[in-house]
Chains A and B, each alone.
Chain A
Amino acid sequence: MSIYYYLAAFLFCLGLLGTIFKKDLISILLCLELMMSGVALLFILFSKSTGFLGAQLMVIFTMIISACEVAIGLSLIIALYRKKQTIYTDDIKIITE
């Protein structure tokens, strides 16, 4: 059990750090997926240890919803790319104080 927990926590932290420190939007989206897979692993793990199957439902919904989120995110990136010809976060800051 514990090694899987560490793996899940590692995946989650890797994704979280990636979303904070990465500079291009595609990588940020990938890191988001990494976070979600870490969480999904955690749910499976706890579902096995507590014996409550409802949490596996949670995993399926997590996967579906994160796929939707990434689809929306990609389409927004494309919309912005058509305007600015870049996907780097430093170049697309328009709204400021």
Chain B
Amino acid sequence: MYLNYLASISRYIPELLLVMLMVGLILIETTYANDDKNKRYIFITAISGLVVTFISLLLNLDGKSETIFNNSMVIDSFSTTMKMIMVLGTLGAYYLSTISKEIYESLKTEFIIMAIGILIGGMILASANNMLMMYIGIETLSIISYVMAALKKNDERSSEAGLKYALYGGISSGIMLFGMSHIFGVIGTIQFTGMAANIAKLDHTQILIMMPSFVLFFAGIGYKIAAVPFHMWSPDVYEGSPTPVTTFFAIVPKLAGISALVRVTMIFFSTASPLSVMWVGLMMVIAALTMTVGNVSAIGQKSVKRMLAYSSISHAGIMIAGLVVLNKIGIQAIVFYSMIYLFMTLVAFYITNIVQDKYGNDHFERFQGLAYRYPYMAIMMSIVMFSLTGLPPLAGFVAKWNIINSLLSSKFYTLAIVLVLNSVVSAYYYLKIVRLMTLKQPESTEEIEGFGFLNQFIIVAMTAPVIILGIFWDSVMNIAYNAKLFIP
């Protein structure tokens, strides 16, 4: 029994490292004076802690897939890969928070402490193997997110964003629990282990009860991904919260939700049954709606951050589209898409934040003539925008191509057409920034301090994968190919 737990803990080192890092950062923070500007040890500890976590996840990647802690968590290469992407996203958002002026100097430590808390929640969610762990993961993710959205506590917009997030989150998690309780009532267990056999045993009436229960169950996860019927919080929260927080929200909770959704789908619906037909239909409708609503709403926006929020909704829709095929090709496409999405989102938000810090707002006009003053940055932003649209030879194209490939291989032609048409719509608002940067004259010739050498170097380094993976994508595709989902 005890040895069993020890064996479990040996596979659970990354999460434990993060917990220790979180506590350690709180302790280190107390040694500094309240108005201390230069909290160097926190920076060093946070960065090195996240890197060590990344390395320990990398070591975990090759181990055999197994369930730990009495079947409550599952460690497999899929969840480990998604966790690695989340850790990278946290690193990126943390560096942005240290250079951003959006977060008060005294609260910068709070940012990384809470970010690590959310990361732990995301990791629990990514490897949850029963309903309880899934609920705990979602709530760990959510409850800290509410505080994080309200990080600028003297700004009423930020407080409003946090409150909106909290209320929507509370309601959707209540709805999810309602669905979960009915699923439990029908199946008789909260464990996901051996679920396929349980599903196969259901009779007609029980399946009829299960269908709406799963729709309710989807509310909780769909709210974290910002899938369409539950997306209303997303633009407001993204706009109201400070930009580094928005960057973080666009990556970590979203990818955690996607990985939970993939796991739930494959556990409950990978065998043919009336339920799986229902779920595929539901996912198709939600994917198409999420893409379309995200893209169409993004067109009329004035604020770049809000535009990026809507665009991240539509990207979530594309990732959900990879789910309907219910096989390995779709999951690989989703993992690959997440990797590319990470880099594209980080670069877009970095540049937006630095421009916004200079001018005080992030309207499209602030980007006018950026190509004449900071040509490298304008080139990087253009590359990312083209990649988000999905133009070859950039990585965004390959990512989208993989999703469409998986759709076509299972004959979901309609959804593939919707996806392609949505890419065309998205070109309008992405390329608007490119047009403003290159064809308009700059408003002022003042220097933007954020674009120092180091920051420019980091932005270029983060754009490099977007260019390189557009051509040499087979090595990363191998990582995605090895990300196998383990269904106990």
- A-side residues, CB < 8 A to B, are 12, 15-16, 19, 25, 28-29, 32, 35-36, 38-39, 42-43, 45-46, 49-52, 54-55, 57-58, 61-62, 65-66, 68-69, 72-73, 76-77, 79-80, 83-84, 92-95, 97
Contacts and interface: CB of A to CB of B under 8 A. Distances in A.
Contacts of A62: 135, 177
Contacts of A68: 139, 143
Interface stretch (B167-175, B255-263, B315-323, B434-442): B167-175
Interface in B163-208: 163, 166-167, 169-171, 173-175, 177-178, 180-182, 184-185, 188-191
Interface residues on B, range: 35 or more
Contact of B171 (A19, A25, A65, A76): A19
B171 A16 contact: yes
Contacts of B147: 72, 76
Q: Which one of B163, B173, B300 has the highest number of Cβ atoms from chain A below 10 Å of its Cβ?
A: B163
B178 A25 contact: no
B240 interface: yes
Most chain B CB neighbours (cut-off 10 Å) among A19, A57, A66, A97 = A97
A16 B172 CA distance: 10
Interface class of chain B by DSSP: helix
Contacts of B300: 97
Contact of B156 (A55, A57, A58, A80): A80
Contact of B236 (A29, A72, A95): A95
B225 interface: no
A49 B185 contact: yes
B162 interface: yes
A52 B139 CA distance: 23
B178 A39 contact: yes
A28 to B, nearest CB: 6
B132 A76 contact: no
B171 A73 contact: no
A65 B136 contact: yes
B163 A77 contact: yes
Contacts, number: 125
A69 B166 contact: yes
Most chain B CB within 10 A, of A39, A77, A93, is at A39
A44 B159 CA distance: 36
B185 A50 contact: yes
B170 A83 contact: no
Nearest to A81: B159
B469 interface: no
B181 A39 contact: yes
A44 to B, nearest CB: 10
A19 B172 CA distance: 11
A95 B185 contact: no
A72 B150 CA distance: 11
B459 interface: no
B166 A76 contact: yes
B160 A80 contact: yes
